[in-house]
Amino acid sequence: MLAKKAVGFTPALADSRWVKGLLIATALAFLLLFLVLPLVAVFVEALRRGTDAYWAALMEPDAVAAIKLTLIVAAIAVPMNLLFGVAASWCIAKFDFRGKDVLITLIDLPFSVSPVISGLIYVLLFGLHGLMGPFLKSQGIQIIFAVPGLVLATVFVTFPFVARELIPLMQEQGNEEEEAALVLGASGWQTFWRVTLPNIKWGLLYGVLLCNARAMGEFGAVSVVSGHIRGETNTMPLHVEILYNEYNLVAAFAVASVLAMLALVTLVVKSVLEWRFGAELAATRH
C-alpha cells in the first residue's frame, strides 16, 4: 500500500511547479524579512555617520574593554565546554550506567531554563548576600560582578552545544572501532586520539563554532551577574544595550556590527569546511 502511495505521489510532486515555486518564494521572503534585512540594518545604522564615526565608536576605551572582555570570557568558556562536552558525550555514548537519562536531561537544562534565571542562581550562590557570599568575601574572592561570574554564567548557558552535537554522532558510530583499536594493542589515549577524535572531529568543530557564537553573544545570564561596570564587567552585548539606552545609536550599532560579523564568519567557516571536506565528511558518516 505504501509503495502504491509513493508511485501516486511522485509525479504529482514533480508536476506542481507552482507549489514548489510558491514554497521557495515564501521561504526566501521569510529569510529576507527576518534575517537579511535586520543584518543589513545593523550595518547601515552603524555606518550612518560615515566610517570615521564607526571606527571612533569601536576604538573608544569602553568599547575596546568590552571586546577584550568578551574574547577573554569566550577563550575560557569555550575550551572548558569543549572538554566537558567531549567527556560527557563519551561517557553517555560509549557506556551504560544507571542514571544516564538523568544526565542527558541535565545537559539539556541550560536550554530549557531562562538564562536570566541561571544568572540569578549564581547571584544567590556567590553574591554578597548569597549562600557562599560571606565565606568568599572573607577569602577576598569576588565572583559576582567580576570576570569569574561572567565565565560561570557563560559556561552554564553554552554547556549543551558541544555535547548535543556529539552524543547522537557517537551513539550512531557505536563502540566497535574503539574495541577493534584496543584489541589491536592501542592504549586508551591512542584509541581516543587516533580513532574516536578523527571520527567526531567535524561534529566537534561544528559544536565548538556554535558554542563560541553563543558565548560571545550571550546577554541574559551575563547581564544578571555583570553589574554593568563600564570598561570593567561589560561584555559586548551589554555594552550595546547601554549605548542604545543612551541613544548613542551609531556606537551601539557599530559594536553590534562586530557581533554580527562574528556570526557571519562562523557561518562562512562552517560552509567552507563543509565544501572543502564534504566528501570526507560523507565518508565518515556513511
Partner 1 sequence: MAIQVSGITKQFGSFRALDAVDLEVRSGELLALLGPSGSGKTTLLRIMAGLEFADSGSLLLNGEEALSLTPRERQVGFVFQHYALFRHMTVFENVAFGMKVRPRGQRPTSSEIKRRVMELLELVQLAHFADRYPAQLSGGQRQRVALARALAIEPKVLLLDEPFGALDAKVRKELRRWLRKLHEDIHITSVFVTHDQEEALELADRVVVMSQGRIEQVGSPAEVYDRPASAFVYEFLGQVNRFDCVVADGVARTANGALSIPADGTVRGPAIAYVRPHDLGLSPSAGGPGRVSGIHVVGPDARIEIDLAGLPLEAEMDRERLSALGLRLGDQCTVHIDRARVFPQP
C-beta of residue 159 within 8 angstroms of C-beta of residue 84: yes
Cβ-based nearer residue to partner 1, 38 or 278: 278
CB of 257 to partner 1, least distance (A): 39
Q: Which residues have C-beta within 8 Å of that of residue 66, sequence separation ≥ 6? A: 231, 234, 235, 236, 238, 239, 255
Q: Which amino acid is present at 3? A: A
Cα torsion 223, 226, 232, 235: sign: negative
Q: Which is nearer to partner 1, 168 or 198 (CB)?
A: 198
193 CB-side CA count, 13 A: 5
Least Å from the CB of residue 191 to partner 1: 9
State which residue, 60 or 178, has the beta carbon closest to partner 1.
178
Residue 185 Cβ, how far from partner 1 at the closest point, in Å?
4
Write down the least CB distance from residue 274 to partner 1, Å: 17
Residue closer to partner 1 (CB basis): 19 or 184? 184
Short-list 172, 158, 258, 271, CA closest to 208: 158
226 within 8 A of 123, measured Cβ to Cβ: no
Quick one: 18 or 189, whose CB is closer to partner 1?
A: 189
Binding-site ranges for partner 1 (CB under 8 A): 176-177, 179-187, 190, 194-195, 198-199, 280, 283-284, 286
Query: Within the chain, what is the greatest distance between any pair of CA atoms?
Result: 76
Tell me how far, at minimum, the Cβ of 99 lies from partner 1, in Å.
16
In angstroms, give the least distance from the CB of 229 to partner 1: 48
Question: What are the distances in angstroms from CA 27 to CA 16, 30, 85, 267?
Answer: 17, 5, 34, 19
**Closest by CA position to 171, among listed 206, 210, 199, 193:** 199
Considering the complex, state which of residue 108 and residue 177 has its C-beta at the smaller distance from partner 1: 177
